[in-house]
Copies of this chain bind each other. A is one copy, B any other.
């Protein structure tokens, strides 16, 4: 058997294999706050599915643990490799292969970033409506984490837009799942199984995505509320009313201060209102007609007033764009402020109020500062937890995630389990279900070479 380096060089070409000290540090980390970087033994940069298959055959032969890598912007340590393991970086597989305007479909390689895809679709009047706050994320990474973002309340998440995949199994077999259609009842849905599997089932080498018409008119309303209670009560009313908001974000006062300060943003909310505000709601509407949008903004303003908003500020164009961008950067604001952990729990929308009741009690009990913003429209709560003591931090995280689970929620809405939340996954999920997932994993990857240590630990 050829040695690993030779075999990998045969698979992808010598110039696309890095090893030992030649591996830049970045390949060993992602943006997770809690997972330490690790040094891979090898990095390969394949050019196509055939090369990925060849790489996986080498990895299988050498029982080399394999970690796929998109842009490394993940927040759960899922792209952190095994020390000495193999990183398969998709940076060279970065082409938009086709924008099929009639079929409203994009076919892309996994290394394409969301920002690149957005530019390509905009040129055709279409949009891929998944905007997790990081335009540098790769399509492959967003597929593997089932990324969400602010538009999920209207558009759903990544899995709702992935129509088909080309993927390589650990054995090197290449399969195609789904296709350029929204419906099929032809066997098990392998597409949906691979979406969200964090690189543990198969490596994705091509993605077929559903696009939507890009609507030309957009406006936002920022509404301060007296407190979290009134905000959370408003959420189900706004999603049920038929206005079909594109964005429905909750921002608490701590997070609002952090993100506006971080972005140097003045929203024009008078000091008097700011002092009375306990939390904010940001609602964005879009429409293909400017008149209808205006009407809807009007209706929304009235609804917000009826739901107890202290005021309502209509934002358009640049000022809306700035606030949305600032909100997207909330993670950096929290990190810069020294946050020790990020919560990405989901609770049923109707239970948001009860979850937010529990938060200050948990924070208080363990001397932590907890604040945040979140995709309120779909019950996805992002909290930044400030508690430098590791033991106290552990307890805060345990209790917050338990509270979400007790309300019928779940551990991660969009960041994934990765290496970071394995303990919670084990503690809060039914063991029969986790065992079933392990068996499914084995049916894809019998030798367990794909991202070991992620999801199951």
Contact = CB atoms under 8 A, between A and B. Distances in A.
Interface of A: 100-105, 126, 145-148, 152, 156-157, 159-160, 169, 173-177, 179-190, 192-193, 195-197, 201, 213, 215, 236, 239-242, 288, 292, 344, 346-350, 375, 378-380, 408-417, 425, 429-430, 432-434, 436-437, 439-444, 455
B455 A410 contact: no
A432 B173 contact: yes
Contacts of A105: 348
Contacts of A242: 213, 215, 288
Contact of A182 (B103, B152, B215): B152
A400 B287 CA distance: 40
B413 A177 contact: no
A240 B378 contact: no
Contact of A437 (B187, B375, B416): B187
Contacts of A145: 185
A269 to B, nearest CB: 28
A219 to B, nearest CB: 17
A299 B412 CA distance: 43
Contacts of A126: 240
B378 A182 contact: yes
A183 B433 contact: no
Contact of A414 (B185, B215, B346, B408): B185
B425 A186 contact: yes
The 9 tightest CB contacts between A and B, nearest first, are A439-B443, A192-B192, A180-B348, A102-B350, A102-B236, A103-B350, A242-B288, A173-B432, A185-B416
Contacts of A177: 433
A173 B435 CA distance: 11
B182 A157 contact: yes
B239 A104 contact: yes
A168 to B, nearest CB: 11
A380 B436 contact: no
